[in-house]
A = this chain, B = another copy of it.
Amino acid sequence: MKQSMMFIPTLREVPADADVKSHQLLLRAGFIRQNSAGVYTFLPLGKKVLQKVEQIVREEMDRAGAVEMFMPALQLAELWQESGRWYSYGPEMMRVKDRHNRDFAMGPTHEEMITSLVRDEVNSYKKLPLTLYQIQTKFRDEKRPRFGLLRGKEFIMKDAYSFHSSFESLDDVYEKLYEAYSNVFSRCGLNFRAVIADSGAMGGKDTHEFMVLSEIGEDTIAYSDSSSYAANVEMAPVITTYEKSQSSQDELQKLDTPGQKSIEEVSTFLSVSPEQCLKSIMFKVDDQFVLVVVRGDHEINDVKIKNIFNASVVELATAEETKTTLGPVGSLGPINVPGSLKIIADHAVQYIVNGVCGANVEGVHFTGVNPDRDIENVQYEDVRFIIEGDPSPDGKGTIVFAKGIEVGHVFKLGTRYSEAMNATFLDENGKSKPMIMGCYGIGVSRTVAAIAEQFNDENGLVWPQAVSPFDLHLIVVNPKQDDQKGLADELYTILNDKFEVLYDDRQERPGVKFADSDLMGLPIRITVGKKAGEGVIELKVRSTGEVLEITTENLIETIEKYIVK
């Protein structure tokens, strides 16, 4: 492709409202443009990367036995009313009326639509399993779209749905798609981890998120430094042993601690370490108040509280509710608590010797707290967040943290939608059962941004070959010089047969051409300059900066060392 015919508007300045590298560079290198908040155009270079990622997704999905189809964006409200999500989805779902005043959702996802399609056509176990996918535009009206393609209002997603007559069949397809996802992100060149995730409100069981490691990620991943274990930080169990200090137990004593509320304040005031303190916080678990206690240096993980109680909603009690139930916020503690109040304490608490906790009276704390002796009616559980340095839950190595960008999600839905929408089949015995479902998403446009986020340097983007818009950037330094122009034109024809070539034939200064070329970040640059007359040209490898001066005779075999077609 001749660059003069393409539309690649590059920018010298960093756009003011672009906070992250991928957003800045995709704008500057002319891959995308913003149309409105969270809504982007893929310019020709961006579209090429998008297509390459789509093609990789397609190949891996097909290989895993999934079948492509294409559903519309406009979805009748009635479908979403059947599942109940018309009411629960909230303002993230864009809604539109047609000229006959019928309500439609602009599909943020397609569980309802696919379930209704399969329900209407499949009624026997003989036609299951079925795994269907599409690559399609989705609409989600984010409160605060940001980071360019990473969190948009209109974006491109691959969504897949599987239908089964048994959980074994679901497990089988789940595993195949997990594998397919790993292949997709590996082929894109990404440094990623498959992470155990929260099945949350979806009500399913197994679920993994595929996270691209990046400082700008909005999720924290806890992973082992010496195994493949990785989990969203809120999902990682703490499996550890604590040691009790051998100090003798002091007496329980009340001390005035006027104005000292936080762990930091209390521990400084009493000259004890945060590890010696008990952090006590009142929660409302569905309609019940629960006092949760962790060690002063630990944080409470409310997903774990939710799971312990199998609760729908877990939230902090208000200051008012806390005071009425037990005592003032900042002076709470688990000693001498009414029997009716449930106390959950983290395992680490049990091993504190001569600790400190609030006395449920404003400005008063206990010292000499020894939980086994002093706390009654307590239930010890794993309720804290895992921290760096904890042992990995799989028993192999130590936990370290990383930030991640979620690019994929595989999810065992179970019968959440098939039951609500009456998608049933007849089993071998003629008995009607709800279909068992899985759903599987890849943020395709987000993956493009994640690649840009991982592959760049101070001069611009550095595309991995598999997803680069072109393999080669052919540059003629001075197209007004006949020998340069002649050789470059000739090489363009020859190289175009074997590689995807972007040919910078523009009448621009060499400095502009080289700067644009670095910004765009194609894997190999071929420069035809002053030595064109001698048949000598320059090859530069974008990722390493390696520069070779070669003759035209060796050109193709040299390129083939770097570019595998």
Contacts and interface: CB of A to CB of B under 8 A. Distances in A.
Interface of A: 1, 5-7, 9, 33, 35-36, 39-44, 46-48, 50, 65, 67-76, 91-92, 94-96, 98-99, 102, 104, 106, 113, 117-118, 120-122, 126, 130-132, 134, 137, 139, 141, 143, 153-154, 507
A154 B72 contact: yes
Contact of A41 (B43, B67, B113, B153): B113
A98 B67 contact: no
Nearest to A152: B72
A41 B117 contact: yes
A7 B74 contact: no
Contacts of A33: 117, 120-121
A132 B44 contact: yes
B99 A96 contact: no
Of the candidates A33, A41, A47, A76, the one having the most CB atoms from chain B within 10 angstroms of its own CB is: A41
A47 B39 CA distance: 26
Contacts of A75: 35
Give the number of times this chain occurs in the complex, counting copies. 2
B507 A67 contact: no
Contacts of A68: 44, 47-48
Q: Shortest 4 CB-CB distances between A and B: which pairs?
A: A9-B121, A42-B70, A96-B96, A91-B99
A74 B139 contact: yes
B99 A67 contact: no
A507 to B, nearest CB: 7
A47 B67 CA distance: 10
A216 to B, nearest CB: 23
Contacts of A139: 73-74
Contacts of A46: 69-70
A110 to B, nearest CB: 10
A534 to B, nearest CB: 31
A99 B139 CA distance: 12
B96 A137 contact: no
A93 to B, nearest CB: 10
21 contacts: A1-B67, A5-B65, A7-B67, A33-B117, A36-B74, A40-B72, A41-B70, A44-B68, A44-B132, A46-B70, A47-B69, A47-B70, A47-B134, A73-B137, A73-B139, A73-B154, A74-B153, A91-B99, A92-B99, A94-B96, A126-B507
Nearest to A116: B35
Given A91-B99, A98-B141, A71 B41 contact: yes
A132 B30 CA distance: 15
Nearest to A76: B36
B5 A35 contact: no
A158 B354 CA distance: 75
B117 A74 contact: no
A130 B73 CA distance: 30
A448 to B, nearest CB: 11
Contacts of A72: 35, 39-41, 137, 154
A interface SS class? mixed
Contacts of A154: 72-74
B132 A7 contact: yes
Given A7-B130, A113-B35, A50 B74 contact: no
B44 A67 contact: yes
A41 B70 CA distance: 6
Contacts of A36: 74, 76, 102, 104
B5 A67 contact: yes
Given A72-B137, A96-B96, 7 more contacts: A7-B69, A35-B76, A39-B72, A44-B68, A44-B69, A91-B99, A94-B96
Nearest to A48: B68
A121 B33 CA distance: 10
A73 B73 contact: yes
A143 B6 CA distance: 39
A409 B433 CA distance: 51
Contacts of A132: 7, 44
B121 A67 contact: no
A218 B344 CA distance: 73
A435 to B, nearest CB: 13
A30 to B, nearest CB: 8
Contact of A121 (B7, B130, B131, B137): B7
Contacts of A65: 5
Contacts of A67: 1, 5-7, 44
Contacts of A42: 69-71
Contact of A69 (B43, B117, B137): B43
A13 B143 CA distance: 48
Contacts of A73: 73, 137, 139, 154
A137 B73 CA distance: 9
A43 B113 CA distance: 12
Contacts of A134: 47
A446 to B, nearest CB: 15
Contacts of A113: 35, 41
Contacts of A130: 5, 7
